[in-house]
Amino acid sequence: MIRLRSTAYMAFLVITVIPYAICCVLWAPLPLAWRYRLTLGWPALALWGAKVILGMRYRALGRENLPDGPAIILSKHQSAWETLYFAVKLPRDVVFVYKKELHYVPFFGWSLALLSMIPIDRTKGRESFDQVVRTGSRRLAEGRWPVLFPEGTRVAPGETGRYKQGGTLLACKTGVPVIPVAHNAGECWPRNAFLKTPGLVTVSFGPPISPQGHSPASLNRAVRDWIEAEMRRLNPERYADERTEIPPAAR
């Protein structure tokens, strides 16, 4: 049954993304706000399909922590599911930081390139952080929320990657608070896995963390402490064999 559901969902994605991408090209002359709203239809379809076809239900905790103003979302990254969720469910238009090579992916990448997000060249090293700060500042000024995954890549449930400072550099540069986000989407949608399983995904939004009084490094530690502590609350069984203590700030 899981294989049948996963096959049906993959077919659903392929069948819907191609005509949607063609439409994205056709409405490219429209204002960005219109293009964004129209393009958002495909992530909404994909999220709906994951719920109906795969049985991936979801709930959100801490939505009251989302401010009525500028914010930078710094999230755990376990799957592709959360990118769909953030695009559809956050109260502001979002912009993702991603490697610019995605623009060359047929259909999906072409649509992405038309949305004025934050593509970076990862081969540039330190300069890529400057790209995040420079372009991210412009996107914040436009009223959009940057979404960054500090670990940089998808990390399996129960594992922790190295948290990079691109998002906290942006926050300290602009004075905009960050919202740490923990979730367990990888339990149902594993990294690079064709088979996806039914279940309940919990997305937990933490309280805003102001960059005031922080350096990018100390703000990065505060974000990491909250996310990793919340991950241990959401799925304690994943960390049962852990021997190191959670940092005091994360308790």
The architecture that CATH gives domain 2-250 is: 3-Layer(aba) Sandwich (3.40)
Beta bridge partners of 95: 146
3-state SS, 116-171, equals CCEEECHHHCHHHHHHHHHHHHHHHHCCCEEEECCCCCCCCCCCCCCCCCHHHHHH
d(CA 232, CA 157): 10
CB distance 41 to 48 below 8 Å: no
Pick the most confident of 22-26, 130-134, 158-162. 158-162
Interval 202-219 mean pLDDT: 97
pTM: 0.90
The share of the chain scoring above pLDDT 70, in percent, equals 94
Domain boundaries of the chain, sorted by first residue: 2-250
What are the phi and psi torsion angles at 118 (to 5°)? -130, 75
Mean pLDDT of the chain: 90
End-to-end CA distance of the chain: 40
* Cβ neighbour number for residue 2 with a 10 Å cutoff: 12
pLDDT at 250 over 70: no
223: pLDDT confidence band, cut at 50, 70 and 90? very high
